[in-house]
Structure 1
C-alpha cells in the first residue's frame, strides 16, 4: 500500500549572513492514511520547520535543499506556489500553535470559515455556510449558528482552538499537521483537544502529524513517535515501545524529565547542557556533548538509524548490537 505521504532524505537550510543553518537534516518518514505520528523534541530540534516544509510554508531565507516529499506519488516539494496552494488546505491542513494568531480578530468566525470554503471549493455562499455549520458541530461547538456571527475574542482559548480545528476540516483533508496545538491551554482543555483530534482521525480516517515537546501528550494520541534532535531523527518506532523501552539516551532523558516520572517530592531530572547551535555543530554524534554513555567512536562519527528487534529504529552506536 502506498503511504499517504513519504518523506525521503529531506533537508531544509536557512542561508544566513553568519552561515548556513541546516534545520532539517536528511529526515525520512512515512505516514499512512489514518495513521497518527508524533514528532517530539526540545525547542530548536527542527520539529516545526519539518511541519512547515511539508506544505511549503518555509519563510525566506529558508529553503528545501534536498530530498523529496511524495504525496499521492508526486513530489510536492518541487511544486510552484499556485499548484501547491491546491494541495495546501484541500488535502493537507495545518493547526498552528496559537489560535489568536491564526484567526483574524476583526472578522467574524463565519466570514473566515466561508472564505476558506469558497477559496477551495466550487459552492454557493449558502452551501459554504452549511459546510461551516457541519464542521463546527463535528468539533462540538454549541449553538453553531450563533457562533458564526461572533468574533474570536468572544471565545475561550479551548473554543478558539476547536474553531481552528473546524477550519482545518472544512475541505476534508487527508492529513492534518498539528503544531503544538495545546501549548496555550490548561491541562483539562489539553486533554479535551487531544481526545477530539483522536476521535476525528478515527471517524474521518485522516492522517495526523502531532508536533510537540511533550512525550506524555503523544503517548495518549499517536501510534508512532519520531524523536528529533538537532534536525535529525534519532529514534522512531511504535509509541508504546518507545515509551516503555526507549533506546536513545536523548529519548530516555526526555522521559525522565516528565513530572510524573519524578514522583512524590523528588527533583525533576534534566538533560545536562543545551542543544548545540546549528551553526556550530559538534563533531561526531550531535548529542555526544550531553550524553553520559558516549563512547570514543561517538566523538568522531555520526550514527545512522539501526533497526532493532522490537521495531524501534535508533541512531546510537551502543544499540548496533541489538539494543539494551
Structure 2
C-alpha cells in the first residue's frame, strides 16, 4: 500500500462571481522512501498541492472533493487536533523562505525544543540534546552556539539547513519541500539539495519536491508529475520524462532550459503565459499556447492515458500513438 494516495483532489477558492478551481481532480501515489517531483510554471498548482496535502489551506481556499490517504488516514476528514498531531510529526513541510518559517524572536534552540515537546514526552534537556544531534546531521558548524542564536544572526544557507533539521526532528515519514532553495544563492542551492537527498535516503523518508527547476528534478527524484493550470498533464519515471517528454508543454519546459540553447542564441520560451484561475480556457488548458492545438483540443478536456512508461493528457499524443499503431499493423 502506498504511503500517500491522492484521489481526485479538487481545490477551489471562493471569490466574488463564484468559486474558481485551483486543482482539478488530481490523483497520484507516493510509496515509502520514494522521491516524487512536481514541476510546472508559477500558477500551475504546485504549492497549492503541497498545502492541500497537509490540509493547510485557509479561506477562501478549500478542498472541494477527493481523498488524501496518508498512512491509512484521510487527511481531509481529520479533526483539527489530529491534524496538529500529524503535522511536523508524521508529515513535515519545508517552505520556500526560511525567514518566514523561523520565528525571529525565538532562538533556534527554543524553536527546536518547543517542536519536540509539543509531540514527545521528554525533558527540555533531552529535547536540546536531540536538537543538537539534528544540527550536526545537517552539518551546521558550532551547533552548540547556533542553538542560542536568533535566525537573523545566521546566513540564508544556514537558516535553510536549520529548517531541514526541524523538519527531520520527529523523524517524519514524508517531507514536502516547496521550492526549498528559491531564496538562496546558486552556489548554496546545490549543497542544500544534496543534503536533503542524503538525509531522505539515509532515513528512508519519502520526499515530494515542488520546483520549477527540471534540472533539480532530474537529479533528485524518481518519478515526476508535470502540472499545468491545476491538472497533472504528464507523469511517470523522471528519466523517461526528461529523456523523452510526450506532452507539448513538457517539451517546451525542457527546450527552455539554458543548456538546450547554443551560446549567444536567445533562450527558447513557451509563447504566452499560464492562465489565471478565472481565465482557464475550455478544453485543454494549454491549447492557446500549443502549436499542435486543433478544434478538438479547444472543445474537450483530454483524458489521461498511458503511453509506454508515462501517462499523458493530450490529444496530439493520442493521435500520434494511433498513427503509430496503424503503421505497425500495415507492416
TM range (shorter): over 0.9
Partner of 2:220: 221
Partner of 1:314: 312
Measured in 2, the distance between the counterparts of 1:43 and 1:227 equals: 12
Unaligned runs of 5+ in 1: none
CA contact (8 A) 1:96 1:181 kept: yes
The alignment partner of 2:62 has SS state of strand
- The root-mean-square deviation of aligned C-alpha atoms, in Å, is 1.1
Structure (1 or 2) with the greater helix fraction: 2
CA contact (8 A) 1:37 1:210 kept: yes
Partner of 1:238: 237
CA contact (8 A) 1:285 1:302 kept: yes
Q: Deviation at 1:266?
A: 1.0
Measured in 2, the distance between the counterparts of 1:93 and 1:190 equals: 20
Residues 262-301 of structure 1: CA deviation (Å, up to 9, x unaligned):
1311100111111112212211100001000112210111
For residues 1-324 of structure 1, the aligned pairs below 5 Å read 2-309=1-308, 311-320=309-318, 322=321
Give the alignment's TM-score, normalised by structure 1. Answer: 0.97
Partner of 2:328: none
CA contact (8 A) 1:305 1:314 kept: yes
Segments of 4+ moved more than 3 angstroms: 321-324
Measured in 1, the distance between the counterparts of 2:97 and 2:276 equals: 26
Residues 200-253 of structure 1: CA deviation (Å, up to 9, x unaligned):
111000000000111111111011110010000000011111111101011111
Q: Deviation at 1:21?
A: 1.5
Instruction: Indicate the larger mover: 254-263 or 39-48.
Output: 254-263
Measured in 2, the distance between the counterparts of 1:322 and 1:90 equals: 45
The alignment partner of 1:116 has SS state of helix
Residues 141-175 of structure 1: CA deviation (Å, up to 9, x unaligned):
11111110111111111110000000000100000
Residues 46-97 of structure 1: CA deviation (Å, up to 9, x unaligned):
1101100111100111111101000122211111111111111110000000
Unaligned runs of 5+ in 2: 325-331
Paired residues in the alignment total 322
Measured in 1, the distance between the counterparts of 2:276 and 2:159 equals: 35
Measured in 2, the distance between the counterparts of 1:141 and 1:222 equals: 25
Give the alignment's TM-score, normalised by structure 2. Answer: 0.95
